[in-house]
Amino acid sequence: MILEILRMALDSLTTSKMRSFLSMLGIIIGVAAVIAIVSVGSGAQSQVTSQISALGSNIINIGPGITRGRSGRLSFTATDVFTMELAEQILRNCPSLARITPNVQTSGILIAGDINYQTTTVGVTPAYQEIVEYYPVRGQFINAEHEANATNVMVLGAKLAEELFPGQDPLGQRVKLFARNRKLLFVVIGVMEEKGTGAIGNLDNQAFIPASVLLKKINNRKYVSGYTAQARSSETAKTAVAEVEYFLTRYLLDTDKFNISSQEQILATISEVTATLSLMLGGIAGISLLVGGIGIMNIMLVSVTERTREIGIRKALGAKRKHIMAQFMIESLAMSGFGGLIGIIFGWLGALAVAKVGGWPLVVTHTSVLVAFSFSLLVGLFFGLYPAQKAAKLDPVIALSYE
């Protein structure tokens, strides 16, 4: 019986294909929008997340506090707070921290032979490699001895090495650094692996020298802009933040002088923001689904009126309310369901196109497909109910005499 009614319903849909398609359009657009928006949202999120994760894991950033400036403007203060000694003290006093490295860098010009290259030079300690998860492929990284003795050694990013020494072996070569009106000669001791562009810019064309060299011989001051620390594990990351906060509050006696942010917090914030955004856009797409439902209801009402006589005939032959009801419900469900399927295909194609342009992986989750499809069925169910009920309630005598 159900099969028969299903066949009858589908027959009636296929006899007016154009009309059925136009009625499904709202659902198609709605579902496609939901799929595409959710996919683009999670694709963008996964890209940002992976960029941030690429910085290392369980990272905690310690920087200057952000306070209100004199005339009400935001200003960064307390730049004269963070020293190399303080970094060691933080590490000693916060048992949940595994390592810490200062944030200090300068922009300058590197010269090798007759090649000049304007880039950022980063002052690092040995811990930098583990924290950023970034290692040399050739030679070695800055070690503790270089740092302690402020030796003029330099490690080159992968691309920078190619730029400065095309077709040559950079190891052991000499590089001059011009920065802040100073000129310093370095020996290249290592070349880093390729890391690509990430959330903190392209590491591949940067140069790395001991932090002590940068501070003493170039900046000529003992302060760095902040620290990047790493917790022992993701479980202790929260504790580590609390420990650093506690220590710095006691040490500096001013919570406005510093600001701590963990990678975990940043990731949480980002996923929160993108989730809200996706939800909002998804909601807008949901509204178009609703509009699609009204379209279906409209066409179903037209169909019921057009087929009043048919309904009368069916009733005369013994169709009960439930049979007529089922027939029209199946029609509207078939319309919304089929519209949903077409919408999924279009949404997927849209998401694919945006992912190609945005350069992130295509993420079409089962959940979004399932939710969008069930929602379209639900819309068909809800908006089909009234027309179907109207059909089922028709008086057989009146329906039979309908012209």
Partner 1 sequence: MLIQAEHLQKTYHMGAVKVEALKDASFQIAAGEFVAIIGPSGSGKSTLMHILGCLDRPTAGRYLLDGHDMSRASDNQLAEIRNKKIGFVFQQFNLLPKATILQNVCLPLIYAGLRGRRKQQQLARQALEMVGLGERLHHRPNEISGGQKQRVAIARALINNPALLLADEPTGNLDTKTGQEIMKTFHRLNQEGHTIILVTHDPEIAAQARRIIQIRDGLIQRDEVIA
Least distance from C-beta 8 to partner 1, angstroms? 8
Sites of contact with partner 1 (CB under 8 A):
1, 4-5, 11-12, 15, 309-310, 312-321, 323, 395-397, 400
Q: How far is the CB of 318 from partner 1 (least distance, A)?
A: 2
User: And the tokens for 352?
Assistant: 């694919």
- In the complex with partner 1, which residue's Cβ is closer, 100 or 335? 335
Shorter beta-carbon distance to partner 1: residue 85 or 403: 403
Shortest gap between Cβ of 12 and partner 1 (angstroms)?
7
Residue indicated by tokens 């270089």: 146
CB of residue 309 vs partner 1: minimum separation in angstroms?
Answer: 8
Q: Check: CB of residue 181 under 8 Å from CB of residue 160.
A: no
In the complex with partner 1, the residue whose CB is nearer, 229 or 319, is 319
Smallest gap from residue 394 Cβ to partner 1 (A): 11
10 Å CB burial of residue 167 (0-12, 13-18, 19+) is exposed
Residues in the chain: 403
Q: Which is nearer to partner 1, 11 or 272 (CB)?
A: 11
Residues 257-261: contacts with CB under 8 Å, at least 24 apart: 257/64, 257/65, 257/77, 257/78, 257/81, 258/62, 258/63, 258/64, 258/65, 258/78, 258/81, 259/62, 259/63, 259/64, 259/65, 259/66, 260/60, 260/61, 260/62, 260/63, 261/60, 261/61, 261/63
In the complex, what is the shortest distance from the CB of residue 322 to partner 1, in angstroms, rounded to a whole number? 8
Closer CB to partner 1, residue 138 or residue 321? 321
Q: Which of 138, 323 has the CB closer to partner 1?
A: 323
- Shorter beta-carbon distance to partner 1: residue 56 or 396: 396
Is residue 175 within 8 Å of 186, Cβ to Cβ? yes
Q: Is residue 59 within 8 Å of 265, Cβ to Cβ?
A: no
What minimum distance in Å lies between the beta carbon of 310 and partner 1?
Answer: 6
d(CA 292, CA 319): 30
DSSP 185: E
